[in-house]
Structure 1
């Protein structure tokens, strides 16, 4: 079974049958809500609920683990920074927020075809055309973000393996800097490709 992060997997579940627009709206609402909740206990309860939803969607624990595993070392870095600057509660709040957003975003993409999701997003944005909003451009940006999530996770894994081989697995700077550089290089390549194809942003 393909456990790759962020790839649609067909199942006969209630979450798969939900409208794409409703799931995207839920993602936006949850992503906003968790960043205004300061209580780590409430955040852990929300994280547990998101994990339960994977079972509702008929995904195995292995699929759940595959979504968060590539980002574990980043969560450790964020926790360590907050522990150093503040305390363990602040660290727990930060990593729990990120875990919730990553897992729920992955759940949305696992249960919704990207094409269907983008169509729903573009339809929702149509009324905003009179304000100068370009639904197609937003759809393209959203599509790129969704496609970059598994790519960045793969790059993160590759960097970690390479630094492990060099004995630098405990050096967070040696892990973080190459990931940032490679991510920015990929973003620059994508921007060049869009420009070369004369994408119309109007």
Structure 2
């Protein structure tokens, strides 16, 4: 199964670590950072997460690329938490979320989608006794992962077309074409799956 995702090909140390081990480290690290609940631990873990990118042979720009989409949400969370609570707690929560985002992105960037799906399919095998088909679980995850770059590409194309036409102040002109395009892509995918006998 060859699915375009966020994976960056490479032969670094992190690329060679099995997907299961990386996901386990991700789970344990994020759980520990949240459970400890210390500001300095959270800030330190966020810094370590950012510094871990070179281990994956990834340039510093990838840290910003992964962090930028969640930055507006972190600002909103920080402001809200700072108003209703206190600013140290706001900083701790944002640092914890930053750690989780950067580490999850690092796993995604250094793990082949096919390897990740094979792992999920193995993990889903015990669910066969409940009538769940592991191959269908992998298919759903594959389609979900495939949709991430597809949505990003559609949004970027719509934004460029919007700017090229000199339009301003009408954001719905960006969103509507993206939604229509994604619906058409979903219909085409559904038809292709039906033609191959996948229901």
Tell whether 2:48 aligns with 1:49.
yes
Q: Which residue of 2 aligns with 1:3?
A: none
Unaligned 5+ segments in structure 2 are none
Q: Cα RMSD between the aligned structures?
A: 3.7
CA offsets, 1:111-163, max 9 Å, x none?
1111111012212321332244442343234334434555666759x88xx8x
Secondary structure in 2 matching 1:42: helix
- Tell me if structure 2 keeps the 8 A contact 1:70–1:153: no
1:64 equivalent in structure 2: 63
Change (3 A) 1:195 1:12: closer
Provide closer, same or farther for how the CA distance between residues 89 and 134 of structure 1 changes in structure 2, counting only shifts above 3 A.
farther
Cα deviation for residue 13 of structure 1 reads 0.9
Distance 1:31 1:190 in 2: 35
Q: In the TM superposition, what is the alpha-carbon distance from 1:54 to its structure 2 partner?
A: 0.4
Check the 8 A contact 2:120/2:138 in 1, yes or no. Answer: yes
State the 4+ residue runs in structure 1 displaced beyond 6 angstroms.
181-196
1:17 Cα shift?
Answer: 0.5
1:51-200 equivalences in 2 (<5 Å): 51-150=50-149, 155=155, 197=193, 200=199
State whether residues 24 and 117 of structure 1, in contact with CA within 8 Å, keep that contact through their aligned partners in structure 2. no
Contact 2:33 2:41 in 1 (8 A): no
Query: What does residue 13 of structure 1 align with?
Result: 12
Higher-Rg structure is: 2
Counterpart contact for 1:21–1:121, Cα < 8 Å: no
Instruction: Please name the residue that 2:38 is paired with.
Output: 39
State the TM-score, normalized to the length of structure 1: 0.69
1:164-189 CA deviation, whole Å, 9 max, x = no partner? x8679xxxxx9xxx99x999999988
- Following TM superposition, by how much is the alpha carbon of 1:10 offset from its aligned partner in structure 2, in angstroms? 1.7
Query: May I ask how many residue pairs the two structures share in their alignment?
Result: 183
| TM-superposed deviation, 1:26 | 2.6
Distance 1:153 1:101, change over 3 A: farther
Q: Using the alignment, how far apart are the partners of 1:101 and 1:121 within structure 2?
A: 20
d(CA) in 2 for partners of 1:141, 1:186: 20
1:35-81 deviation per Cα after TM superposition (whole angstroms, max 9, x unaligned): 43321211112112211210111211112211111221121111111
Moved more, 133-142 or 76-85: 133-142
Q: TM-score, normalized by length of structure 2? A: 0.70
